[in-house]
Structure 1
């Protein structure tokens, strides 16, 4: 078990370190891989970053408790994610090329040729706070995996994730993150598929598995009783809420930077999206299936910690060498997101928050190491579940950036005071919805956090007129 785990982990580390051979040391290369990422790699990297420890630990734990109705979360999430990608990803890449900026906030601050300095610094603070919280959740997920498989203190796994992320992120920046994501995505899919099919076989195939599921009260009910509204209306509201969770990907700097770093060749964005959604759909279906299988194999886990379902199930069903693959898959998921988060956080610190940009390579790397260590500290002290902590960070970042990015992509323009107002309003609504009203269990807080600022922003925005070329303005002779 330990041998196979360390072998696969060593491969990831070697790939990350190998990327350093192409590093130039400047900020565009460190944070955007010089804008030269191929579409298949951009797609796999983005989906590996998105399908993090949240998927291996959080979603499987949620499915363990919820049953088949958890499929509605998947449907809403992927549909919302896809709708956002239809008109935003390409516009963000075009703006990145036009502004020649290396960070998510800086590109948005200079989208229309202006420079929203105050907005950018407020955005940087929000990103640093919530990206570090998000990274802490990923690092904690690695610790839970080690606890579930080997019975180790979860803090040991958290430290291991953080140290590996520091080593290869410092060595190769975003390129190291993306290269390792390619290998990690393969390990993640293989681990999930292996566990699903072995678990299915152990229960006598699909017919035997369905029979077992039907014995758990309400487990196959597509219309659970605990929704805000009964029946199909409640499911529809739930799906719409999670559509906004999927749409919220456009507000996640660590995911969108993959598309910002994409090679400029024609149709590359379409190819990257094809890789992304093909993998995403298959992987999410497998994760949902494994979560449901774990309820049959591990009925007593409900009273303990359902977020340990996947690693515990692996120990129950697989040969120790294959358990090492599962553990490596979980570590791959946590690392593929954690490294992306700390790099985006580092970019916010060195390029968006400070009065003058920090350009020296050693300062960029020092910022990456510092943010990783802070996230590790949070992981070692945080008792909140991985699922809830990730959703909190995800929804807050979405409420902060998705409204303005949507307006920009729809060719609308606002002043800096309005942009600041939309950012503060979105974050305030999302946090109050969760902590003040407590309605987040029924309707995802990102929905009002995105929709209300978007409506207000549209009313206060102006249409961006197309630039008139000399040819268009010339008078025929």
Structure 2
């Protein structure tokens, strides 16, 4: 039988296994908006941790991350290390209080949490809710489209399918997951997919290392290709290593601006279980990142022509075809699809929540309306993916930074229950976006310091200036 047929059979078998998990999760659901969006705040910490890892480490690792490791070598490792440190700090400082305060304020969505009433300012947060919901729909939607592009690249590399076909297949699967049980189905399937991601990455990493003749041979061959590939410190950094590394630590902390990950902290069964969920997702994510680095390095040795003749973001699927038997190629493709779909379904659910609950709320939360919003958002994401640039790395990096810079500082202040007036909150969000865009596209300084650092700092500076100017006025009135 043709190798591609065996690959397809294995791939479909894994997809069906995910579907079974999603269908089973639907037996636990309640037909309420709160259950569709937050799984009734009753998610096991192990499922929360694994799901958060799968959602955070998406097609960006399988496609973009391995491609960056292929191109730049060992120095890539500082990006996931920095992100891991920042991510750990965010879960340690923010997520437990987020779980508590979001329940106290009866906030089912991130936008409603950001727009929660200030002290004595009843109904003043509506404009904050609307603007933050628009930011989520636009930029998280673009992020989700990057996942569909990543999935299509894997299908194209292995089966030779048209990229548009892969994007459409991914969108159909996302809708099926979302409709089967909302965020519960997303979290349950994400957890299974997280295990598959780890297994598939390390199967290919170890196979690639053996094909290179072991670690020592890999190191020698990388040195022969380009000595820079074995340098642990990135070269030609405009401002040196420390600002570069600090930028990626803050990028990891920027998870506080990402609704599809924040919602997992809001949905966990108890705030006391946040620490366990944090440790699970941080450790498993770091294991994945090391596997991704290994794949990129071995692909550079085994597929040297990829640097000039093809797209380096295809290093992982091409290496799979080169080294693995059909069944394991199917496993690898399923792992790639798991990484992309586990993120895309979460992002689309967050966007549909912003659309149905925050932009167009109704006196009584409508479960049916939330599902209709999911269809609408998926259609928009599909359109973006079909027309967008094919660089997954660019889409992921830009969307991540804008969400972190616009929503992150305000969310931190809300978690710590600091009063923020409507004008100040809006100015913080707009300033964060503007600084991120100017830093990245205008000044082209992202390689010196990733734009999340200056963008989030700008938001806090706006708050600090406003707080300084308002407090003296209040004191004088007293």
Q: Shorter-chain-normalised TM-score: which range? A: over 0.9
Deviation, structure 1 residue 18? 1.9
Question: CA shift at 1:210, angstroms?
Answer: 1.4
1:243 aligns with 2:249: yes
Shift of 1:409: 3.7
Q: Deviations over 1:217-253 (max 9, x none)?
A: 1111123332113xxxx11111011111101111000
How far apart, CA to CA, are the structure 2 residues paired with 1:182 and 1:361? Answer: 25
| 1:265-319 deviation per Cα after TM superposition (whole angstroms, max 9, x unaligned) | x631111111111101111111111111111111111122000010000000000
Distance 2:348 2:155 in 1: 22
Q: Does the Cα contact within 8 Å between 2:357 and 2:370 map onto a contact in 1?
A: no
C-alpha distance in 2, partners of 1:85/1:361? 30
Q: Equivalent residue for 1:360? A: 366
Kindly indicate whether residue 395 of structure 2 is the aligned counterpart of residue 389 of structure 1: yes
Please name the residue that 1:88 is paired with.
94
The CA distance in 1 between the partners of 2:370 and 2:388, in whole Å, is: 27
SS where residue 84 of structure 1 aligns?
Answer: helix
CA RMSD, aligned part only? 1.5
Aligned partners of 1:377, 1:405: CA distance in 2, in Å? 30
SS of 2:237 mapped into structure 1: coil
- Paired residues of 1:351 and 1:358 also in contact (CA < 8 A): no
Please tell me whether the aligned partners of residues 170 and 369 of structure 1 are also in contact (alpha carbons under 8 angstroms): no
- Relative to the length of structure 1, the TM-score reads 0.93
How far residue 356 of structure 1 moved from its aligned partner, in angstroms, is 3.1
Is 1:131 matched with 2:140?
Answer: yes
Give the CA deviation at 1:410: 4.3
How many Å separate the matches in 1 of 2:386 and 2:98?
Answer: 35
Residue 458 of structure 1 and its aligned partner are, at CA, apart by 3.3
- Please name the residue that 2:472 is paired with: none
Is 1:165 the counterpart of 2:174? The answer is: yes
Name the counterpart of 1:298: 303
Matched, 1:442 2:445: no
1:140 touches 1:386 (CA, 8 Å); kept in 2?
A: yes
Which residue of the partner structure matches residue 174 of structure 1? 183
What secondary structure sits across from 1:67 in the alignment? Answer: helix
Equivalent in the alignment of 2:376: 370
Deviation of 1:456 after TM superposition, in Å, equals 2.9
Per-residue CA deviation, residues 142-194 of structure 1 (Å, 9 max, x unaligned), is 00010111121122211111101101201200001001001100111110010
> In the aligned structure 2, how far is the partner of 1:457 from the partner of 1:85?
23
Match of 1:211 in 2: 220
From 182, 190, 196, the equivalent of 2:199 is 190
Tell me the CA shift for residue 391 of structure 1.
Answer: 0.9
The residue aligned with 1:311 is 317
Q: CA shift at 1:76, angstroms?
A: 1.2
C-alpha change, 1:358 and 1:123, in structure 2 (3 Å) is: farther
- 1:269-348 paired onto structure 2 within 5 Å: 269-303=274-308, 304-348=310-354
Structure 2 residues without counterparts, runs of 5 or longer = 1-6, 469-478
Cα shift at 1:459:
4.3
SS of residue paired to 2:93: coil
Between the two proteins, the alignment pairs up a number of residues equal to 457
1:360 shift after superposition? 2.5
Contact 2:149 2:390 in 1 (8 A): no
Range moving further from structure 2, 337-346 or 145-154: 145-154
User: Given the alignment of the two structures, is residue 72 of structure 1 paired with residue 82 of structure 2, yes or no?
Assistant: no
Taking a change above 3 Å as real, the CA distance of residues 434 and 357 of structure 1, as seen in their structure-2 partners, is farther
CA distance in 2, matches of 1:307, 1:357: 47
Counterpart of 2:104? 98
Give, in whole Å, the separation in 1 of the partners of 2:414 and 2:363: 25
Do the aligned residues in 2 keep the contact of 1:403 with 1:453 (CA within 8 Å)?
Answer: yes
Partner of 2:3: none
Tell me, yes or no, if the aligned pair for 2:114 and 2:128 is still in contact at 8 Å.
no
Aligned to 1:226: 236
1:362 Cα deviation from its structure 2 partner: 2.1
1:409-443 Cα shifts (integer Å, max 9, x gaps): 44532212111111111111111212222222322
The corresponding residue for 1:260 is 266
Equivalent residue for 1:201?
Answer: 210
How much does 1:111 deviate? 6.4
Query: Within 5 Å, which residues of 2 pair with 1:419-438?
Result: 419-438=425-444
User: Which ranges in structure 1 are unaligned for 5 or more consecutive residues?
Assistant: 463-477
